[in-house]
């Protein structure tokens, strides 16, 4: 089930906005490739965190409102 318009996996809801959005983008791409939903959710979050650690030095202070 792809996620969009504020409909995120429960494990993404308390993540900083930029991480949540990137994780959703990654997980949706994985779903399109036929990856299992649980794996896509976990991998999307992990890869999003890695992406921002590499590009911004880990500053993820922007929290959802």
In a domain, 3, yes or no: no
DSSP 8-state class, residue 46: H
The residue segments making up the domain with residue 48 are 14-54
Average pLDDT over residues 58-64: 55
pLDDT band at 63 (very low <50, low <70, confident <90, very high): low
User: Is 62's pLDDT higher than 70?
Assistant: no
In a domain, 30, yes or no: yes
Count the domains in the chain.
1
**How confident is the model over 5-52, as pLDDT tens digits?**
788 899 999 999 999 999 999 999 999 999 999 999 999 999 999 999
- The 10 Å Cβ neighbour count of residue 40 is 24
In a domain, 42, yes or no: yes
In a domain, 29, yes or no: yes
């Amino acid at each position: 089930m792809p996620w969009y318009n504020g409909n995120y996996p429960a494990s993404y809801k308390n993540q900083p906005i930029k991480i949540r959005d990137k994780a959703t983008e990654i997980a949706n791409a994985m779903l399109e490739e036929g990856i299992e939903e649980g794996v896509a959710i976990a991998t999307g979050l992990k890869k999003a965190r890695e992406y921002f650690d590499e590009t911004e030095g880990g500053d993820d202070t922007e929290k959802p409102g």
